[in-house]
Structure 1
């Protein structure tokens, strides 16, 4: 029946839109995109995969503010241009050492009859899906303009199962809800949980990357790529017609984009396959970004680190130096005259303890939060001049710590919490980056907790997106790598600026200390958040009972210890943290060995098993080595994974060290139950390993020389 529907559509296109209809096929011929002008000159596209309709005829265009005529209809086709492209490019770091970028392209130039304006809609069709964007050439009739709303549609073919988080202008830190599209409205309120800054726009609004599965077994992913000088896109669902439409994040005035031609929108992406592993393996998001802009990338290096962080997140320790100040005014408040509290974590002795641990176990860096003045009243005060990013507390000696870390072969990692005051951050940025360079900090974790200043702006509006980009590009001048938390979700810009070595931009491990996340959360993130780029998820928690760190915190980490190990493989990032306290690792040194061994930069990746919300199993080969590492994360139901090791090189023998859930392991009742075993394997070997609810396994595979 679906084949007949596609055939009927083709016949209709040929009868009514023969002059306008344009067809584009993917390089392997499995995906077909049709473009045409509907009655009234409305740009329309349709997408199919292996003769199954994926996107029903959907309209394209933009609604303009304070203009008589929006860019929605009344178009005629001026010309079309077809081209093909195929290259192999080398990322600075990544899930593989080489990436193929192959696509067929259709550029449709449209003229709007009434206004004589021209736009180009550019389509790129890959073997895994479609990317399209709007381009605005230089012209007299369209120079400066304001976008009221982008009207890109994604018409679904049915009531698909979706993994979604609420559409929100300020936060992505939500657990994923699995439901039918028709159920989003009824489940929306329960899906919204508290956060430091949040605002939703619709009871059927969701965020990208949106992962879906059809009744016929197709996997569909909607996202965007190359978000530059534009507002972040959400999706708003008409749950009667099952049509998603783009919904941009507004600025403080309610406007959604200030544009100056020539310019273009970000790419809108649609990935589709009948195998969930293809979604994980796709590099569409990276390929739709521009090549690297940094001429010398030798200073950009993957980092494995520990940090003075988890003890504050759990409430065991404090970011603030004192409890005696009702408010702080930088440059006025004299910390030498106040009584320090007894639990400020960023003190010399404690930081040296972490440096010693990092040095002993081969970690590259140590992050320290709460080292600088101002933490006593940083949050929720709508405070502009909140931090200066260079003035330490009395108990943190920058010079002493710098020299001590250097003597131990450890790099310090800077922390810049902006409290959402982006003007203040830009005011201090050059000085802060120079301070880092002077003290040999080559990486910074930046944060944007709380409501954005200027007041009324949102975390994902055009102006703030431009701020993140400004900070990233400014960092290049000082050879600083960026790990931005609470910033806009990544859209592959790390290809162009690989000093963006990590983002948070989702519900990370910290929420395990704020009440916990769903045990299957990490089986969804690779299909959603990680589609745009690596995440600083901060895995490696070994003590799941948070009350043992803080008696006033009854939270529980909903994961087994083996699951925590697996995250170093399944949650790809060139920036990986061992997030727990050193004393907890010392209790389980045999399991900690995997974290010490696992690589953070890869030669190739093999996606062995995948089902969103249920399980993910990935194997990766260490760059410059014959070593392989395998990780499996499991959802709420125990299961046995069975897979071949045919990714190993023929003719070679290996030892596989397997870190697995014990038979009685369970994320809630027995999370620290694990086993470690080893066996000889080769490319003909097959493994079957059981994973507990909320569990998983990790495997280190090393060649026998």
Structure 2
């Protein structure tokens, strides 16, 4: 369904409401021609009067002296079908206001386009083609988000190079005092302010409004950060700079990404919002049949924990074009060897997994980390103990795909140099998905992970992969902004602290009760759940870390941490010790027809139910923080008149994420749409349920 209604106005103040009338957007020019906007929800301030505009390099600012030349309103309503996703169809329904502004002193034109949905606001800047503004350099974007008070915030330190920090929960007024401790070490990091924070920024007001600020459709532009004035509680945009400090090189006609504000008085509505996806363009691909959700295992966790090695040898100072690895002594710890990978292929085939990821298969791992090395990998040359052709043959005989790994070591220039050859190598050897990585400082030197240059590189890698019908899972890349709608072969990202950090000291117990409200707002995360052996010392006696989760919650994450790319990240030997619990990982779907948030409070708990694509089965996951709780859910989402068997994988009564993480219990109960379930969740725990229709 599509509806388009147009109205033209020329007043200096405009107002539009959401389709349901609960959100109201007001645009106005202040007396000195400063453009402003204001957003209210059910009569309560979400964003108080806030300024808009730009500072330009070597040119007058686009912040004041404006007059309204024209304005246009329209209503839009359609329903579209994602290639993969949390629901079968998505409604895209909004009221739009586009205000065209002219700056008399410079004869330049700027347009601000607002779209108000029932669940929030999106707006962007548009620069029409014009005589007085062609090529220009952004010194800073001056978008403000003036908040109504000292909200509770779930925030990460503002950084140009990493999102891999633990989320801090505090009032906005406490950000400055907590910033020093919040900034923990990383392979590449560049913080910029004692009050700078990242998006997505999740907030909760004192009167119970849930507010999420982010961006959508980040293309050919720098990533958005937010600078907090902790006296007035005004957030102002702070774009990631390039190597010389500029924020963006643009040429008209062009536009910015969308700035997004998702709002509700119900926490679950934030998780259900599709506003960011709706602000992205439809898919660019005519054929999407090659894009498929993937459930996989891999040679990865054993290296992360230190049990095995990515590198084939302990030699150092390696130059790829002048070394013959066959002459070097193996270190005996290299995990990506043919015989060992076959064990993973056998395990995947036995249990019905789609693919096997192998890291450390290619030459160069001995001399890559922290060296600022340009020609660091070639992405096509295997180590002597990794037989590409034999593993291709063996995996194909078992109906299992191999998943490629490309670590760039931050040398994006080198990756682009080898990209066509690397993707062709993948196709020739049966790989249709790649996990890429950008660990370390970026080359070209001085560029940042989230600047305009790298934003363009990431999209280049995605679109180039599509030429070869390859799906992409990018780690250490810019945080997602809904581009998976336009480029659905982007089936995963990391862009946050994932499970690997459980081996580096641990994630907080509330970590996975926050990520869906923050990182996952822009797209799915390759979180790599499913760790059953939570004591890392079992794999590596030198590593005393432990996974801050019960085993039952590891199952729940397959539902609460949405992704069409899901890994069973632990070792096969650990799954073989708990095959009854492993059954849930085998059964759980990774593509969905429906999703319903049953319970939610950021930082405390999340309970989500999802219906498998094209099937009658439902899966429920619940995760909670370190306090534990009792979860009570209503199963009214089940089809009326039908009978189901619910298999419940739950924490035992004595389970605890630190003291007794592997204590779980499995039981089956008969349920219908009239049933209610009450289930105990241990501290750092949760539960998972598969609900299967039965005729008995």
Please tell me the TM-score bracket, short chain as reference: over 0.9
Match of 1:569 among 559, 563, 578: 559
Q: Which residue of 2 aligns with 1:413?
A: 403
Deviation of 1:327 (Å): 1.2
1:453 aligns with 2:443: yes
Please state whether the residue corresponding to 1:697 is helix, strand or coil.
Answer: strand
Partner residue of 2:37? 45
SS in structure 2 of the partner of residue 446 of structure 1: strand
Q: Does 1:544 align with 2:534?
A: yes
Q: Does 1:110 pair with 2:128?
A: no
Alpha-carbon distance in 1 for matches of 2:344, 2:11: 69
- 1:202 is matched with which residue: 193, 204, 225? 193
**Aligned-pair CA distance for 1:459:** 0.1
Which of 15, 18, 25 in structure 1 is aligned with 2:17? 25
- For residue 251 of structure 1, give the secondary structure of its aligned residue in structure 2: coil
Please, which of 638, 654, 676 is the counterpart of residue 664 of structure 1? Answer: 654
Q: 2:510 is matched with which residue?
A: 520
Instruction: Tell me the equivalent position of 1:346.
Output: 336
CA-to-partner distance for each residue in 1:60-112, whole Å, 9 max, x for gaps?
00110111x11000000000100000000000000001000000000000001
Residue of structure 1 in register with 2:683 after alignment: 693
Specify the alignment match of 1:329 in structure 2. 319
Q: Cα deviations across residues 242-294 of structure 1 (Å, max 9, x unaligned)?
A: 10000000000000000000000000000110000100000001000000001
1:6 corresponding residue in structure 2: none
**How is 1:291-370 mapped onto 2 (pairs within 5 angstroms)?**
291-323=282-314, 325-370=315-360
State the partner residue of 1:594.
584
Q: Partner of 1:564: helix, strand, or coil?
A: helix
CA–CA separation in structure 1 for the residues paired with 2:378 and 2:316: 19
SS in 2 for 1:567: helix
- The 2-side partners of 1:367 and 1:53 are apart by 48
Please list the CA deviations of residues 176-232 of structure 1 after superposition, one character each: whole Å capped at 9, or x if unmatched: 000000000000011111110001000100000000001100000000000000000
The answer to whether structure 1 residue 259 and structure 2 residue 259 are counterparts is: no
- In the TM superposition, 1:495-514 aligns within 5 A as 495-514=485-504
Q: CA deviation at 1:501?
A: 0.2
For 2:348 and 2:407, the matched residues in 1 are separated by 23
Partners of 1:634 and 1:288 in 2: CA distance: 31
Residue 218 of structure 1 pairs with residue 218 of structure 2: no
**In the aligned structure 2, how far is the partner of 1:19 from the partner of 1:151?**
23
Q: Take 2:568 and 2:316, find their aligned partners in 1: how far apart are those partners?
A: 35
Please list the CA deviations of residues 578-616 of structure 1 after superposition, one character each: whole Å capped at 9, or x if unmatched. 000000000000000000000000000011000000000
Three-state SS of the structure 2 residue aligned to 1:459 is coil
Give the drift of 1:440. Answer: 1.3
- Structure 2 distance, partners of 1:447, 1:359, is 27
The number of aligned residues is: 687
* Counterpart Cα distance in 2 of 1:699 and 1:148: 51
Q: Deviations over 1:477-497 (max 9, x none)?
A: 000000000000000000000
Of residues 96, 110, 126, the one that matches 1:119 is: 110
Give the Å deviation of 1:520. 0.5
SS at match of 1:490: coil
C-alpha distance in structure 1 between counterparts of 2:316 and 2:688, whole Å: 48
Where does the alignment leave 5 or more consecutive residues of structure 1 unmatched? 1-17
Using the alignment, how far apart are the partners of 2:527 and 2:353 within structure 1? 17
- Partner residue in 2 for 1:73: 64
Distance in 1, Cα, partners of 2:193 & 2:73: 38
Q: 1:61: which partner in 2? A: 53
How far apart are 1:19 and its partner, in Å?
A: 4.0
Task: Provide, for residues 33-71 of structure 1, a one-character-per-residue CA deviation record: whole Å limited to 9, x for no partner.
Answer: 10000121000000100011111100000110111x110
Give the drift of 1:636: 1.3
Verify: 1:463 aligned to 2:453, yes or no.
yes
Q: CA separation in 2, counterparts of 1:511 and 1:377?
A: 23
1:404 aligns to what?
394
In structure 1, the partner of 2:7 is none
Q: CA deviation at 1:147?
A: 0.1
SS of the aligned residue for 1:331 comes to helix
- Provide the rounded CA distance (Å) in 2 between the counterparts of 1:35 and 1:211: 24
Q: Are 1:232 and 2:223 matched, yes or no?
A: yes
Are residues 1:635 and 2:625 paired? yes
Structure 2 CA distance for aligned equivalents of residues 611 and 138 of structure 1:
46
The whole-number CA distance in structure 1 between the counterparts of 2:653 and 2:167 is 28
Match of 2:643 among 653, 677, 680: 653
Match in the other structure for 2:270: 279
Matched, 1:162 2:153: yes
SS of alignment partner, residue 484 of structure 2: helix
**Segments of 4+ moved more than 4 angstroms:** none
Partner Cα distance (1:326, 1:651) in 2 = 67
Where 1:357 maps in the other structure, the secondary structure is helix
Contact map agreement 2:11 2:68 (CA 8 A) in 1: no
Residue 128 in 1 paired to residue 119 in 2?
yes
| 1:343-384 Cα distance to aligned partner (Å, 9 max, x none) | 100001110000000000000000000000000011100100
Match for residue 626 of structure 1 among 602, 616, 625: 616
Question: Matched residue of 1:466: which SS?
Answer: helix
Give, in angstroms, the shift of residue 392 of structure 1.
0.1
1:331 Cα shift?
2.1
Cα distance between partner residues in 1 of 2:488 and 2:198: 25
Quote the residue 2:4 is aligned against: none
Quote the Cα distance in structure 2 between the aligned partners of 1:178 and 1:268: 23
Superposed CA offset, 1:136-190 (max 9, x none): 0000101000000000000011000000000000000011000000000000011
TM-score (norm 2): 0.98
Mapped to 1, the partners of 2:362 and 2:229 lie a distance apart of: 48
1:475 to 448, 465, 472: 465
- Structure 2 alignment gaps of length 5 or more: 1-9
Two-structure CA RMSD over aligned residues (Å): 0.8
Matched, 1:183 2:160: no
SS of residue matched to 1:443: strand
Query: How far apart are 1:326 and its partner, in Å?
Result: 1.9
Structure 1 residue 115, shift from structure 2 partner: 0.5
> Matched residues in 1 for 2:28 and 2:19: separation?
21
Q: Could you say what secondary structure the match of 1:92 adopts?
A: coil
Map of 1:4 onto structure 2:
none
Structure 2 equivalent of residue 100 of structure 1: 91
- Tell me what 1:139 maps to: 130
Tell me the CA shift for residue 505 of structure 1: 0.4
